Structure 1
Amino acid sequence: MKRVVDIILSLVALALFGLPLLLLAWQIRRRLGRPVFFKQTRPGLHGRRFRLVKFRTMTDARDPTGQLLPDAERLTAFGRFLRASSLDELPELWNVLKGEMSLVGPRPLLVEYLPLYSTEQARRHEVRPGITGWAQVNGRNALGWEEKFKLDVWYVDNRTLWLDIKILWLTVRKVLVRDGISAAGEATMPRFTGSSAATSRGGGS
């Protein structure tokens, strides 16, 4: 049932927002340049890799040595708006249609984080990753990593269709008030460097 709901709602959303998405893509190209889409390999169900697709929110500004500038310096006011409104996430509906993601589930993080998880934290990959999730409606990037992973695993153990509907509704509310967009003192979210549990079992080396 969850997969059926994912497909139906994704198709409806793409049909409703098709023209606005094209206009948004044009604005991104005009303001931030090419490419319009940000694509990156992320771990999905059971850690299987897939190519996540989002709208880009940062410029490619570099220092004199050719290295990309920090996120805070590449994130423009327009990029902040895209993130605050979650419009940058809409292309992930394509990942949902392909079966690589779900509308609701733990957010797909970086592949390089995989060896850093504790055994319990790694359970977040027992379900498909989502465009939104339990952690996102309970603090989003304002949460610390440990707390966020606890919420992800709680969702894995307690997921139901009704919980997904509740999360989707709460996501709309969160987007409207633009709550928890970034961590304190950060443009987005600091990198995960491993938990104490993972380090104690050798996962943080």
Structure 2
Amino acid sequence: MLVILCLPLMVVTVMAVWASLGLPLLFTQTRAGADLRVITVTKFRTMTNARGPDGALLPDQMRQTVATALLRRLRCDELPQLLAVLAGDMSIVGPRPLPLATVASFGDLGRLRSLVAPGMTGWAQVNGNTLLSDEEKIALDLWYVAHASLWLDLRILLLTLKTIVFGERVNDMHVKAAKDFLHVIRAGRSHGQ
């Protein structure tokens, strides 16, 4: 039902991407799913492949157009992931799907993070997202995994709407609680628990 409701927005997004970047409209990446299973994540393309003189990709902001920056701000680029939700590879709410190498670099924490299906939005995304350090994001993700519930998912969905309207803001109270929780996890693992 959500896919059908989002179809008009997807059509507008397709037109905006086509007008500002041309083809292809979509890009795919392999990511870590639940239990570290490999999944394919599809998004609308919002950046060019522009490179600097050294051959390295330019920063994200320099590879976006005004239209695609707005699509990213409104999270419209994420809409194709609804198909991954339908396929059972993702959830609406959960930790963001990360590259396999990134999850592997977290070691045991990466495996804990992968106990639930990745989501289109999550606790880290509504508590600061790009304004957070990697350490803060993993702390928030692990806090979510340990406290996941229907009530928390509904709260995250409401906070996602707030984030889309008002922009990203760090919630220091939630970040501190998650970092304290991460400290407890690490302390327990260092004592062999």
Residues 1:33 and 2:22 are matched in the alignment: yes
Q: 1:59 to 1:147 in 2, by over 3 A?
A: same
Q: Sequence identity of aligned pairs in percent?
A: 42
SS at match of 1:134: coil
Residues 1:178 and 2:167 are matched in the alignment: yes
User: 1:141, 1:180 within 8 Å by CA — same for their partners in 2?
Assistant: no
Q: Deviations over 1:91-134 (max 9, x none)?
A: 11011000000000000112221331042343110000000011
Of 60, 68, 71, which aligns to 1:71? 60
CA distance in 2, matches of 1:112, 1:120: 13
The amino acid across from 1:52 in the alignment is V
The amino acid across from 1:119 in the alignment is D
CA RMSD of aligned residues (A): 2.1
User: 1:55, 1:88 within 8 Å by CA — same for their partners in 2?
Assistant: yes
User: 2:126, 2:168 within 8 Å by CA — same for their partners in 1?
Assistant: no
Aligned match of 1:152: 141
Aligned match of 1:116: 105
CA distance in 2, matches of 1:42, 1:121: 13
CA distance in 2, matches of 1:124, 1:50: 15
SS at match of 1:136: coil
The amino acid across from 2:156 in the alignment is I
Structure 1: gaps spanning 5 or more residues: 1-11, 182-196
CA distance in 1, matches of 2:165, 2:124: 17
CA distance in 2, matches of 1:20, 1:121: 34
SS at match of 2:108: coil
CA distance in 1, matches of 2:76, 2:138: 24
The amino acid across from 1:43 in the alignment is A
TM-score normalised according to structure 1 size: 0.77
Residues 1:96 and 2:85 are matched in the alignment: yes
CA distance in 2, matches of 1:180, 1:141: 9
Tell me by how many angstroms 1:20 deviates.
Answer: 2.6
In the TM superposition, 1:3-22 aligns within 5 A as 12-22=1-11
Q: Deviations over 1:21-51 (max 9, x none)?
A: 1232022112111110121101100111111
Structure 1 residue runs of 4 or more that deviate by more than 4 Å after TM superposition: 63-67
The amino acid across from 1:24 in the alignment is T
User: 1:39, 1:53 within 8 Å by CA — same for their partners in 2?
Assistant: yes
Aligned length in residues: 172
User: 2:104, 2:110 within 8 Å by CA — same for their partners in 1?
Assistant: no
Tell me by how many angstroms 1:157 deviates.
Answer: 0.8
TM-score normalised according to structure 2 size: 0.81
CA distance in 1, matches of 2:53, 2:133: 33
Aligned match of 1:194: none
Structure 2: gaps spanning 5 or more residues: 171-185
CA distance in 2, matches of 1:95, 1:85: 19
